[in-house]
Structure 1
Amino acid sequence: MRFRRPRRWADLSRLERVDLYTRQSLHLVLWLMCLFVLAAVPSREPLLWAGGLVVTALGSSLMNAVVRGYPRIRPFAWRRAAALALACVLYLGLVAVPGQGQVAGTAGVLVAANLAAALGGLPDHRISLGVVLFCTVVVGATSANLAAAVSGVVIGVLVVFTVRVSLWLYGVVSELDEARQTQARLAVAEERLRFSRDVHDVLGRRLSTIAVQAELAATLARRGDSRAADRMMDVRQVAHDSLAEARELARGYRPTNLSQELEGARSLLRSAGIDVGLDIGDVPRAWHEAAGWVVRESVTNVLRHSSATVVRISYRDGELRVENDGVGTSVGTVDGTGAAAGTGSGLRGLGERLAPLGAGVRAGPSGPGRNGWTLVARFPASGPVSASAAPAAPARTVTPDPVDPAETAARARRSAS
């Protein structure tokens, strides 16, 4: 209950909408109940109505402060509580004490209802019990009969229960939203960790070999040994191999499987509380890897940058479309040539990877009110440029040579001697 609300309902997140609905519903129930109680009195006494409206306004103000701080008790709005207490005492003294019958009972019910609504949101059962007992005493004393005391218990329990349950439901929604965001962050962090492990495993030994061979070449060069040039050529070859492996890592050194990417996207988005719709036709086999890139980048953007609740992935007539209903922070836009604008690097990189293949990607706001986001990748029917220019090489998994740095250093010392 601590959000600064935008002006439009469409700009609110799901949690902010629940916050607004819960708070406004509690105020609406309190005011409707008090107005109904006042309207039930046949005599229209100005003091009864004026005092009742003042007490309701102060009770609504204190309830708003308690709801905003939920589930914390401190800091407590003591000034608002003191103003409400003073207003209740004056109201009872000026209306209930000199009044008789229904007028006095109405004043007691208004005071009990407002105190129960204002303090019912405090997450302390002792306070709730005290509020119910106070409502019983006030209603029973102002009405001067046992049945009224029972109605005071009912009023206190009903109002406190309504407030507590509403705030409890909001707390559950808040925890679920936080869990969804945590799930999205963990998914991104897990992918980064996987990539860092792959970089360490694949390139670590290569770089150790480069360091040892470069040291050996330097030693041979100082001695004027002609073998130094050969050693530097070895360093050059290892560096080229490392660069090729780094490129494979950046592209995803395992062959991209479109079916696995789609299933992984469905599972990941659903675990983050997002509905997923798949309507994938017959994607040409030559475009499976590129389509997998698009799906992977789109899902990452949805998790990191949007407040989407629904994602649709479809393929028709050479176009792969990924649509969601919740625009988040800017992730940049890409035109059909692969040129990127904005601050996002993921879409820029995707456009740069698709452009050499003859494909294009564009993205931007869409839907009613421009509150959605659509990414469209266009794949020519002729297939990727590289695939049409030369026969496709079979995909393979890059496995680094098992080079032991200690063994390499020993060989280097033997060669130098």
Structure 2
Amino acid sequence: MRTPGRWWRHKSTPEKVETYTRWSFHFFAVMEFFSVGLTSVAPLGARLGTAVMLVVAVHATLCFVTVSRAIDWTRGRRPQPTALLWTLAAVTAAIAAAAIGLAELGPKGERVDTAAGGVFGVILVFGPGIIALGVRDRRRAFGIAGGFAAGTWIVAFALGAAALTALFTALIVLVGGVFIAFTAVFSVWLMNAVYELDEARETRARLAVAEERLRFGRDLHDVMGRNLAVIALKSELAVQLAQRGRPEAVTQMVEVQRLAQESQREVREVVRGYREADLGSELAGAQGVLAAAGIDCTVGGATAAGLPAPVQSALGWVVREAATNVLRHGDARRCAVRLRVLEGRVVLSVENDGVSEAGAESGAGPAGSGLAGLRERLAEIDGTLEAGPAGQGLFRLTAEVPLPSRSAPSGDVPAAVAVRSMSEVTS
């Protein structure tokens, strides 16, 4: 059974902001019912108070539904709830007019006036503010609050209230309605901005992967383009010489064979350079890519200099694979990479806070086929790899590789790469 805490942690940052926005305005509807609906029963009596409570409950329910529909419309999941907005506006105006009528023409008494005034004020403040959620134009959203304030003055004056009293009441409605409308407009803007930033981060991550693929393709083209062109020309020449019975055809085919073998060697070098990177360069590159994607990445511990080439190659691939999976999966805000050179072994750990427990179990961290590939690579040098949840929403990957006895210094040394925040990268 999923607890509320786990349900919240499994949401991405934009989803958390949307949930917070949605339930903040839902709370307005709940607060409306409990603040003026239930409290109207005692001062108005059982019969009239119950009727007022039911009317307020209808308005609160309309507000609750309007919040959900309006936010879904803002995110493009459903059409604009125009009919619902007009219904809420009409019900708000009708209840407010009825509250004024109850205060002016209903049973006399301070408690009745207080209850009617509370219903009137809360309804006319929350109603226009929630309607503003379903309006895209900001001036129109504030205009709705102004329209209700103007209507308040007209109705109050028509029902016998003094002109100054009606004006003061209208000003209160205007200030409260504009404040809630501003809150609605700002909340929608903030929610959309968070979604756009998250989409931009995902785009940057995809562009980084695409750029690396283009680099590899460019290197391969540079290596193979000239050699294949020469092989084609020499093969054509050898065919023509062979058709004429010329002995030089054998010489040309020997040259073709040499070029083919040379091309194989160069392709292997390109692939080796792509798959076996320098550990120091990979640490710096991972920090830069993650920081560019909005993830605060810190690299610390021992220096990579002096480690054997096979160890650097294997751990460099671990860093590259782990950084790629942090970008692709979860919603990480921080990532910590630490390299330790201990007695006879090197330990590399990569820890981030953006992988859900479910994602970890299904291989959403550095898992799946990537995890199997890393274990195979480390097994070639007697290394091990562990990956899994580390508690409190963390995911940790730890690679351990033994060192030859002559290359095994002990203890940690100062960090190879300084901590660089996102603000330093973007500046």
Aligned equivalents of 1:158, 1:253: Cα separation in 2: 57
Measured against aligned partners, the alpha-carbon deviations of 1:176-206 in whole angstroms (never above 9, x if no partner) come to: 2122111111111111111111111111111
Deviation at residue 138 of structure 1 after TM alignment = 4.5
Aligned-partner SS, 1:225: coil
- Report the count of equivalent residues: 371
Paired residues of 1:363 and 1:373 also in contact (CA < 8 A): no
* Structure 1 counterpart of 2:354: 326
Choose which of 115, 130, 134 in structure 2 pairs with 1:118: 130
- TM-score under structure 2 normalisation? 0.76
Q: 1:110 to 1:142 in 2, by over 3 A?
A: farther
Measured against aligned partners, the alpha-carbon deviations of 1:362-415 in whole angstroms (never above 9, x if no partner) come to: 35322227x54333322221189xxxxxxxxxxxxxxxxxxxxxxxxxxxxxxx
Q: 1:232 to 1:247 in 2, by over 3 A?
A: same
* Structure 1 counterpart of 2:107: none
Between Structure 1 and Structure 2, which shows a larger proportion of helix residues? Answer: 2
* Structure 1 counterpart of 2:16: 17
Aligned equivalents of 2:280, 2:211: Cα separation in 1: 21
Aligned equivalents of 1:170, 1:311: Cα separation in 2: 25
Aligned equivalents of 2:386, 2:317: Cα separation in 1: 15
Aligned-partner SS, 1:8: helix
Mark the runs of 5 or more structure 2 residues left unpaired by the alignment.
Answer: 105-112, 407-427
* Structure 2 counterpart of 1:387: none
* Structure 1 counterpart of 2:110: none
Q: Does 1:137 align with 2:166?
A: no
* Structure 1 counterpart of 2:189: 168
Aligned-partner SS, 2:402: coil
* Structure 2 counterpart of 1:65: 69
* Structure 2 counterpart of 1:209: 230
* Structure 1 counterpart of 2:398: 376
Deviation at residue 239 of structure 1 after TM alignment = 1.5
Deviation at residue 51 of structure 1 after TM alignment = 0.7
Aligned equivalents of 1:112, 1:364: Cα separation in 2: 56
Q: 1:111 to 1:332 in 2, by over 3 A?
A: closer
Which residues of 2 match residues 158-197 of structure 1 at below 5 A?
158-197=179-218
Q: Does 1:270 align with 2:291?
A: yes
Aligned equivalents of 1:235, 1:382: Cα separation in 2: 43
- TM-score under structure 1 normalisation? 0.78
Q: 1:376 to 1:232 in 2, by over 3 A?
A: farther
Q: Does 1:97 align with 2:101?
A: yes
Q: 1:383 to 1:308 in 2, by over 3 A?
A: farther
Q: Does 1:261 align with 2:282?
A: yes
Which residues of 2 match residues 149-160 of structure 1 at below 5 A?
149-160=170-181
Bigger mean CA deviation after superposition, 247-256 or 56-65: 247-256
Q: Does 1:362 align with 2:385?
A: yes
Aligned equivalents of 2:319, 2:244: Cα separation in 1: 56
Aligned equivalents of 1:201, 1:297: Cα separation in 2: 26
Q: 1:80 to 1:314 in 2, by over 3 A?
A: same
Aligned equivalents of 1:110, 1:249: Cα separation in 2: 71
Bigger mean CA deviation after superposition, 285-294 or 96-105: 96-105
Aligned-partner SS, 2:246: coil
Aligned equivalents of 1:159, 1:307: Cα separation in 2: 31
Choose which of 304, 310, 316 in structure 2 pairs with 1:292: 316
Aligned equivalents of 2:376, 2:287: Cα separation in 1: 26
Deviation at residue 24 of structure 1 after TM alignment = 0.7
Choose which of 232, 246, 251 in structure 2 pairs with 1:225: 246
Paired residues of 2:295 and 2:334 also in contact (CA < 8 A): yes
Mark the runs of 5 or more structure 1 residues left unpaired by the alignment.
Answer: 335-340, 385-417
Bigger mean CA deviation after superposition, 161-170 or 314-323: 314-323
Residue identity in the other structure for 1:113: V
* Structure 1 counterpart of 2:421: none
* Structure 2 counterpart of 1:311: 335
Q: Does 1:43 align with 2:47?
A: no
* Structure 2 counterpart of 1:75: 79
Aligned equivalents of 1:253, 1:185: Cα separation in 2: 18
Deviation at residue 159 of structure 1 after TM alignment = 0.9
Deviation at residue 105 of structure 1 after TM alignment = 2.9
Measured against aligned partners, the alpha-carbon deviations of 1:210-254 in whole angstroms (never above 9, x if no partner) come to: 212222222233334344333333222211211121121112269
Aligned equivalents of 1:37, 1:260: Cα separation in 2: 65
Q: 1:361 to 1:238 in 2, by over 3 A?
A: farther
Measured against aligned partners, the alpha-carbon deviations of 1:117-147 in whole angstroms (never above 9, x if no partner) come to: 2221222134223312233134443593222
Deviation at residue 25 of structure 1 after TM alignment = 1.3
Deviation at residue 285 of structure 1 after TM alignment = 2.1
Residue identity in the other structure for 1:285: L
